Structure 1
């Protein structure tokens, strides 16, 4: 299985390269020619591939000439579309980093291009592979929780500009924290609620956090109403302290008629304090969600396991984000 990682703009690109390089039966090639918007000090290009033990191509044309069986797009959000359309033109299945695109218009064009070419389009939402989410999903599917009434979710992370400046540049990212951290939970709810789709979105945003550094919103709260009457709130803020030993996390509370379900997607960790470092520390254990997602994309889901989100699902999440921005501007709910 030959897999090409196109662009290293996203912080997950290096991790994907490392996972693929050690995955049996997989050959990996990196390609990162578009470094024109990288900030000083951001490590990109061949150095990233070399550190991961992966091959490297100088251009996207060379990467496709290599004959990949699949590609993973890790560019800035606004640059997803041309790379996905390039993969579609070459007839190569593609896993695109989340969110699907920086705009619904681009997302629709990507889905249409892959559909017309008969090419699989998947979106990188690893949280749906969390054992904690699997337990929530099973409780809802079995009916043990009863009808879902409301969901409270939080995807709080650290300000991402220390790793990649473009996350807070709307012309490349499509927005700020609302764009970055709404879609993971929107994807979980899209899977959890099945055919009960989102019908209305209300959102508020601000940039009280880091207002002296960026103009994009750094805090937000999104309320989503679904066709079956369930209401979900999503805290999508970049509110995790920079000095904290963890980047952030994702938590979900699902309130049903017969049970309340709580999950923490990333708490497979031993927590402690390092005397040497003078700060808290975490030692992770258990499954690697990115690895599970990559394996499901490349080789199919395990028996009874989770499938990778598809382009249509990614587009539904993007529509929630776009409606959230419209609501934040106007101060009123926006229908989908």
Structure 2
């Protein structure tokens, strides 16, 4: 029976130990209240290497073996997006707590089914929105509350890459990923916006998506593997641009791209405009120092303030700490995946708008 009390370490298995899954495994292994008991991955060399590095006793080839194993309380899932729903639902039905990589699912229907499964099982379902744990984001959260920038009316948010089309074949497959740049990077940026604004509802979305660079052979990440005929499709977008209308009249200009013949190169930007001031977070190549600027009038003169902010954090260790704390708290109903579901609903509206070429309501 999976752990339901605070006695003993939380016994965790990680399913999928590619780049992000390996980060999950390292974070769980470093947690003092966790025992990393198993790894599962279809690639033997990959799973064996991580297991040897971390001293994990059980190495499995199929996620179903994890769910059938004794002595597991929670699983971390870092598989291709299309597998998030079936594996998560099966794990919840087996009585396990679940940390599932973003996006929660590739469709709203699947995301809702995952949340329903968490509620029925009475288990935690979390998605690691780790960027909200950055120190500069925490600073903005405090600053917007006090002294604040007055009434917020518009937000510009983006994550743009110069040449970052994903290396893994499944990332470029609509069937396996559910989309491209938007579903890959968009959940993090959207989460930052809604988190800092206090979780307002998104009412409408108007959007366009483009997949021109990927199909023309441009924009591949320098770390991308060579194209293998028959194994390397590209039928997703490499750029998505959207305009969102939120409750209370706030508007959001939202752009996500994997590639572009432009100056942007792994730039995360968030600009929040208020009546009495504005703030901007700009992080290139995941920089954590000097990322925040505040714009206000001082004595009637426009001024730029660059506060000293420790922007560190935002790694998977912070996500794992929160996940374990949520399980230990026993307040599992507050961690049922609903927040991630709301992000999925917005991304779905963006895709629907781009498909029909008109604004859509959520």
- Using the size of structure 2 for normalisation, the TM-score is 0.76
Cα separation, partners in 2 of 1:18 and 1:237, compared to 1, 3 Å: same
The structure, 1 or 2, with the larger RCO (C-alpha pairs under 8 Å, 6+ apart) is: 2
**What do the CA deviations read for 1:237-280 (whole angstroms, capped 9, x no partner)?**
00279xx9x9824221111111111113532269xxxxxxxxxx
User: Which of 3, 21, 26 is residue 12 of structure 2 equivalent to?
Assistant: 3
Aligned to 2:323: 297
Listed as ranges, the gaps of 5+ residues in structure 2 are 1-9, 218-233, 291-309, 328-333
Q: Does 1:256 align with 2:274?
A: yes
CA distance in 2: counterparts of 1:268 and 1:120, whole angstroms: 30
CA distance in 1: counterparts of 2:190 and 2:178, whole angstroms: 17
- The structure number with the bigger radius of gyration is 2
CA distance in 2: counterparts of 1:195 and 1:30, whole angstroms: 36
CA distance in 1: counterparts of 2:260 and 2:209, whole angstroms: 16
**What do the CA deviations read for 1:32-58 (whole angstroms, capped 9, x no partner)?**
3445xxxxxx96433333344434331
| Offset of residue 289 of structure 1 | 2.2
CA distance in 2: counterparts of 1:320 and 1:288, whole angstroms: 23
**What do the CA deviations read for 1:73-124 (whole angstroms, capped 9, x no partner)?**
1111110112111221122211110010011111011001111111111111
**What do the CA deviations read for 1:12-51 (whole angstroms, capped 9, x no partner)?**
111111222233232214433445xxxxxx9643333334
Aligned to 1:124: 128
Aligned to 1:141: 145
Cα separation, partners in 2 of 1:250 and 1:12, compared to 1, 3 Å: same
Aligned to 1:38: none
Q: Does 1:16 align with 2:24?
A: yes
Aligned to 1:277: none
Aligned to 2:36: 28
Cα separation, partners in 2 of 1:212 and 1:45, compared to 1, 3 Å: farther
Q: How does 1:186-265 map to 2 (within 5 A)?
A: 186-213=190-217, 214-239=234-259, 248-264=266-282
Aligned to 1:111: 115
CA distance in 2: counterparts of 1:235 and 1:43, whole angstroms: 37
CA distance in 2: counterparts of 1:269 and 1:56, whole angstroms: 40
**What do the CA deviations read for 1:165-203 (whole angstroms, capped 9, x no partner)?**
211111110011121122112112222233520000111
| 1:210 match: secondary structure | helix
8 Å CA contact retained: 1:14, 1:52: no
Aligned to 2:52: 50
Cα separation, partners in 2 of 1:66 and 1:141, compared to 1, 3 Å: farther
Point out the more displaced range, 18-27 or 106-115: 18-27
Cα separation, partners in 2 of 1:44 and 1:334, compared to 1, 3 Å: farther
| 1:222 match: secondary structure | strand
Count of residue correspondences: 306
